[in-house]
Amino acid sequence: MSEEIKEVAKLQSVNALRKTMDEYFLRLSTAAETGNKKIAWCTSVGPAELLYSMGFEVYFPENHGAMLGASKLADKYIPTAVAHGYSPDICSYLTADIGAFLQNETPLQKNGFKSVPKPDILVYNTNQCHEVGDWFMYYAKHFNVPILGVNTPLWINELTPSIINGIANQFKDLVPELEKVAIQKFDLEKFRETVHLSHEGCVLWRKVLETAKHKPSPINFFDSAIHMGPIVVMRGTQYAVDYYKILLTELEERIKNNISSIPNEKLRLYWDGMPLWYKLSSMSKLFAHHDTCVVASTYCNSWVFDDLDPKDPFESSAIAYCKLFIVRSDDAKQNVLEKLMTDFSIDGIIYHDAKTCARNSNNRFGLQNRLNEKNKIPYLEINGDLCDSRCYSEEQSIIAIETFIKQLSTRK
């Protein structure tokens, strides 16, 4: 890059985000220290609503993995997990998280934690991948606590009644097992209320992301990856709803006053796949320098569960968690991407092929070619990883991205 610096406009809501996340971790640490509430560990697209409705504080190891990546500590911990028999080719959230645990270290120590909060129960959903089951099993054995799972079929093309009913029944089967651990019994009305809050939070999150349809966009992918924290860990709570009202108001004000995320938006890109957590800031600056805004992504859209319906909380939960992009067939994914390309006026697509996350790398079975044949939108593939920075060549990627942007500029 030349010495000219083009700053990304900072969102003022980041202060409210920090407060919201700090209070979430305070509730968790209080539960861990005092036992005033039971603690459930949950996968990031697991049944958080059910757990919150039964009075659990909910901890998400994938959020911890992302924190390790963003704080550039994952490389320190992954070798420890590998030395204990975990392959460097499996999910680097998993290996970073278990490696940090084995070294008795965590970024949460800044939030007053001595270690990650001890679980009373672990609950996973395989809708994102099957590795989460192995991940949670490690901790279930270590802490000698129960583990429950929802096993979702992968590569879903059509959401049939048998799939939806099967998953809804698995959700229902969790209830009596959770009641053996929970302080409070299952209450259907409380569950409806939690699903209602989750739906409200997801709708707000969708509206936040959709502000990027505006030209110029008031938000970029790299900011969204940070501000998605509450919808991941507080889905089903008033805390998430309150935060996204603040963020949405700021973005709508930006649109009203024609304030853009980057100073001089000329190109609009789509990011497919996982973030490079250890390069969020530098990537954001790189694209801003080239007057290019990454306006939408597969990753951030993954937490829009607006099919949740308090009138039928179990069935609607099954629909919402089976509709998730990552669990769908390539044909279904292509339909989603085609719509997003149009809705967000996309000039080009970047596919991040994450070495340790095949499920979230959508360029391995020809989808990128089929989509290009249909909509003629150019694309670029870069190799990297979500947490393991050793899989990423910054020099090669910057050259490829800058060349791609130059090519796109000639088409405008």
Q: From 104, 94, 107, select the one nearest 136 (Cα to Cα).
A: 94
- For helices 92-102 and 131-143, the axis angle rounded to 10 degrees is 20
Give the mean pLDDT of the chain: 96
In which band, very low, low, confident or very high, does the pLDDT at 8 lie, cut at 50, 70 and 90? Answer: confident
CB distance 57 to 31 below 8 Å? yes
User: Any residues with CB less than 8 A from the CB of 110 and at least 6 apart, and which?
Assistant: none
Single pTM value for the model: 0.96
Write down the pLDDT at residue 411: 85
What value does the mean pLDDT take over residues 318-341? 96
Write down the pLDDT at residue 213: 98
| Half-sphere exposure for 104 (CA within 13 Å, toward CB) | 1
Cα 144 from Cα 369, distance rounded (Å): 47
Q: How many residues does the chain have?
A: 412
> What is the residue type of 251?
L
User: Any residues with CB less than 8 A from the CB of 291 and at least 6 apart, and which?
Assistant: 6, 262, 263, 264, 265, 266, 267
In this predicted model, what pLDDT tens digit does every residue of 122-149 receive, in sequence order?
Answer: 999 999 999 999 999 999 999 999 999 9
The angle formed by the CA atoms of residues 268, 270 and 275, to the nearest 5 degrees, is 125
CB distance 37 to 56 below 8 Å? yes
Other Cβ atoms less than 10 A from the Cβ of 2: the count is 5
Cα 17 from Cα 227, distance rounded (Å): 7
More confident residue, 379 or 412: 379
What value does the mean pLDDT take over residues 93-99? 98
Sign of the Cα pseudo-torsion (118, 114, 103, 353, in order):
positive
In which band, very low, low, confident or very high, does the pLDDT at 312 lie, cut at 50, 70 and 90? Answer: very high
**What's the distance, CA 190 to chain centroid?**
26
| Residue 2 confidence (pLDDT) above 80 | no
Cα 371 from Cα 109, distance rounded (Å): 45
Cα 307 from Cα 319, distance rounded (Å): 7
More confident residue, 87 or 2: 87
Q: Distances in Å between the alpha carbon of 235 and those of 88, 127, 385, 408?
A: 31, 17, 26, 38
| Residue 234 confidence (pLDDT) above 70 | yes
- For helices 188-210 and 313-322, the axis angle rounded to 10 degrees is 30
| Half-sphere exposure for 257 (CA within 13 Å, toward CB) | 8
Write down the pLDDT at residue 4: 62
In which band, very low, low, confident or very high, does the pLDDT at 391 lie, cut at 50, 70 and 90? Answer: very high
| Residue 1 confidence (pLDDT) above 80 | no
Write down the pLDDT at residue 107: 95
The H-assigned helical ranges of 235-297 are 238-256, 280-289
Beta bridge partners of residue 383, listed in sequence order: 353
Other Cβ atoms less than 10 A from the Cβ of 141: the count is 10
Beta bridge partners of residue 250, listed in sequence order: none
Write down the pLDDT at residue 3: 54
In this predicted model, what pLDDT tens digit does every residue of 245-299 receive, in sequence order?
Answer: 999 999 999 999 999 999 999 999 999 999 999 999 999 999 999 999 999 999 9
